[in-house]
Structure 1
Amino acid sequence: MEAQVLGPVSITTGGHAVMPSARKTKQVLALLLLNANHLVSVPTLIEELWEDKPPASAMTTLQTYVFQLRRMIAEAMPSVSPKDVLATTLNGYVLQIPPESLDLNRYEQARMLGLRHYATGEFRQAADSLRTALGTWRGPALADVKTGRLLDSEVVRLQESRLTAHETCINAELAIGEHGTLVSELTGLTAQHPMHEPFHRQLMLALYRAGRRPDALNAFRRLRSTLVDELGLEPSREVQSLHQSILSADPALDHDHALALR
């Protein structure tokens, strides 16, 4: 069994993906998967489905969604009891699956390993682990689920985690001299995130170290223009300091003299 939330939500068993078609049933499954092997209370599920305005039939309707999920589990895994996989407790429900079968758990394990390597200066190992973590993503988290208030906050949290992991991975790769291979990736990332300063800082440094000083300065100008036009803000002190260092061709920016930006 494989369960995925880092992209479209799905459960795959025997090579076949199974997924409820009803919107709110899929919502329930997403919340259960994000909390796999932990209790999700009935009030929490009701809040996600209907926020502050649950219908009088909320409890009965929720039980119907759980029944639909159990029927899906029975079809996908006829050798197990659906009530053992999606268990009822006194206060709610627990989706019980092997931790390694969920992509979110594999992502977190690889991400944390990468961060530990990075903190101790093991940049090659950090980059490898963080690339493994990033490779578990197949698109935006819960990409095909219409989310409520609780799932919305989870999507934001996961997106921030993904961005931070990506930044750290690129810092590690800059630290081991891979600036030339990072330019293309960072060009795409800055286009996707036009006001995300860390990616722009990394692109400026990668371009400079690749011998493309004018392009590095142009990257700064694009970022500054976007921030001023959209928010009325100048780039951060860190970005402006890097810009000045590029203008003066500061030897401290060379890979032989400095590690990646932190």
Structure 2
Amino acid sequence: MMHEETSTDTAVAGLRIADGRRTQVLLRQRPQGGVGEARCIAELEREVRDLQRANATLKRYVAKVLELNLEFPLPEAGFEATGIGGVAGRGNGTNAVAFSRRGAPAALRGIGAPSLKSLDRSLDRSPDRSPDRSPDRPPAEVEFRVLGPVEAVVAGRRIDLGAPKQRAVLALLVSRVGQPVSVDVLLEELWEGRPPPSAITSLHAYVANLRRVLEPDRAPRKPATVLRTRGRSYLLDNRAVDVDVQRFGERAKAGWQALDQRDPQRALREFEAGLALWRGPAYAEVADATHVAPEVVRLEELRLWVVEGRCATLIAVGAHEIAVSELAAFTQAHPLREYGCELLSVALYRAGRQADALAVLRSHQKRMAEELGIDPSPALQHLERDILHQAPSLD
């Protein structure tokens, strides 16, 4: 931690030094007297404000990097015609996509193409997975679907999960597949911290009912293999179940890997297969539960990440008009996500709609100023200049 704090302080100190040097240069160049001096002072004040904003942005960015232990470069203004996630440009018959250097995890707003290391860390927070599974594996004997209303399928048939509290028990266990969930946590969640005297008896009944429907062929008194007891806790055995969250995470990772390997067609198939698993908000019935809400937020951020990745891939394969229609709806629903705005502007420009591309950027700039009191990122400012000047890197 001492090394991380030193790294942050060093990075910020570098900008402060640059700030001071810039101030000295402007003072040395200052004309003497009158309007010229006032103009120079105004210019100096503007430059100092810009550097102060950059200082604050860098400090927040580095702090987040160190907090999450991520490995990606510091943000740089500007676009590069490098292709999404390393997808080659015209050399392999696809259109290179300009994108800002923002390799950030799903926890951050305005994300760009992620590094595979940061993606691995994000997916490592998913429910425990069996090591021999692949996106195309056959379903397990028991399958749980939580990317929408909670459902369970046993031997190919959807089963009745019972009363709301019983369904909530299962949802809590699915959110931590392979990890024990204590009886105390279950009681607290089911009765909002005020369990009645009969709560433990009711909980045992819910678990017994779930075991009966999840393992209908289990012999009496034979130990459960799906919903197990461990001390004063219960857990779903990840070796016996399949969860759609796992499949979605694997598809997302495969999509970014395909882009990294310069295969946008496969990336598009993987992203679309992952998004097809969604039937509504994750863990719909218990999304507000204290111990489930963080997982719901993580999954929604990962879903938006994949939506943006899919749209970036559409641009990479030259489907600009399709990308425009998808991104127009996306940015309307999520107006503060800068990467979505960035992609929409690029797609509009590629579709021959330069004026519309500029209008999107300026509308976003106005919204950021009015709602958050901040300027757009350097990447969006640079993109606006590139569109104005029809920069070759955008073609």
SS in 2 for 1:12: strand
Larger radius of gyration: 2
**Of 100, 124, 144, which aligns to 1:3?**
144
Q: Cα offset for 1:203?
A: 0.5
Query: Which residue of the other structure, out of 150, 158, 162, is the alignment partner of 2:303?
Result: 162
Equivalent residues of 2:159, 2:213 under 8 A apart: no
Match of 2:388 in 1: 247
Cα offsets for 1:38-69 (capped at 9, x unmatched):
43333443454456655565544432332342
- Whole-Å separation in 2 of the counterparts to 1:184 and 1:232: 29
Identity %: 38
Q: Structure 1, residues 206-230: CA drift from partner, whole Å, max 9, x if none?
A: 0000001111111112212222221
Q: Is 1:213–2:354 an aligned residue pair?
A: yes
CA distance in 2: counterparts of 1:78 and 1:61, whole angstroms: 21
Please say if residues 287 and 296 of structure 2, whose CA atoms lie closer than 8 Å, have aligned partners that are also in contact: no
2:234 to 77, 90, 93: 93
For residues 112 and 231 of structure 1, what CA distance do their matches in structure 2 show?
A: 33
Give the equivalent residue in structure 2 for 1:79. Answer: 217
Matches within 5 A, 1:40-189: 40-49=181-190, 58-73=199-214, 78-80=216-218, 83-96=224-237, 101-145=242-286, 147-189=288-330
Aligned-pair CA distance for 1:141: 0.6
Decide whether aligned partners of structure 1 residues 239 and 17 sit closer, same or farther in structure 2, where only a CA change above 3 A counts. farther
Q: State whether structure 2 residue 335 is matched by structure 1 residue 194.
A: yes
Q: Which of 147, 152, 160 does residue 18 from structure 1 map onto?
A: 160
Q: Secondary structure at the match of 1:226?
A: helix
Deviation at 1:120, TM superposition (A): 2.7
Partner residue in 2 for 1:227: 368
State which drifts further: 167-176 or 241-250: 167-176
Conserved? CA contact 1:37–1:96, under 8 Å: yes
- Go from structure 1 to structure 2 and tell me whether the alpha carbon gap of 1:213 and 1:102 turns closer, same or farther (over 3 Å shift): same
**Which residue identity does 1:208 align to in structure 2?**
Y
Q: Hey, what's the Cα distance between the residues in 1 that align with 2:187 and 2:284?
A: 21
Return the offset for 1:146. 5.1
Q: Is the 8 A contact 2:286 2:292 kept in 1?
A: no
Are the structure 2 counterparts of residues 49 and 21 from structure 1 closer, same or farther at C-alpha, using a change threshold of 3 Å? closer
Q: Is the 8 A contact 1:27 1:146 kept in 2?
A: no
User: Take 1:100 and 1:210, find their aligned partners in 2: how far apart are those partners?
Assistant: 46
Given that 1:11 and 1:19 are in contact with CA atoms closer than 8 Å, whether structure 2 keeps it comes out as yes
| Unaligned segments of structure 2, at least 5 residues | 1-141
In 1: Cα distance, 2:205 partner to 2:297 partner = 29
Are the equivalent residues in 2 in contact too, given 1:12–1:18 (CA < 8 A)? no
**Aligned equivalents of 1:164, 1:146: Cα separation in 2:** 20
For residues 197 and 155 of structure 1, what CA distance do their matches in structure 2 show?
22
Aligned to 2:90: none
Question: 2: distance between equivalents of 1:170 and 1:112?
Answer: 16
Query: 1:159-208: per-residue Cα shift (whole Å, max 9, x none)?
Result: 11111122222222322222222111101101111111111110000000
Q: Which amino acid aligns with 1:244?
A: R
* 1:111-136 deviations in Å (ceiling 9; x for gaps): 11112222233222222212111111
- CA distance in 1 between partners of 2:252 and 2:358 (Å): 32
Q: Distance in 1 between matches of 2:217 and 2:379?
A: 58
- The size of the alignment, in residue pairs, is 250
**CA deviation vs aligned residue, 1:79-125 (integer Å, no higher than 9, x gap):** 24693332212241122466674211111121111122222332222
| TM-score scaled by length of structure 1 | 0.84
Q: 2:377 aligned to 236, 242, 250, which one?
A: 236
SS in 1 for 2:285: coil
Counterparts of 2:242 and 2:349, CA distance in 1: 42
Contact 1:28 1:45 in 2 (8 A): yes
CA offset at residue 5 of structure 1? 0.4
Name the SS of the counterpart of 1:3 in structure 2.
strand
Alignment TM-score, normalising by the size of structure 2: 0.58
Q: Contact 1:217/1:243 (CA < 8 Å) preserved in 2? A: yes
Structure 2 counterpart of 1:199, one-letter code: G
Q: Structure 2 CA distance, aligned partners of 1:124 and 1:181?
A: 15
SS at match of 2:152: strand
Higher relative helix content = 1
Residue equivalent to 1:259: none
Q: What amino acid does structure 2 have at the position aligned with 1:69?
A: L
Q: 2 CA distance for matches of 1:132 and 1:217?
A: 33
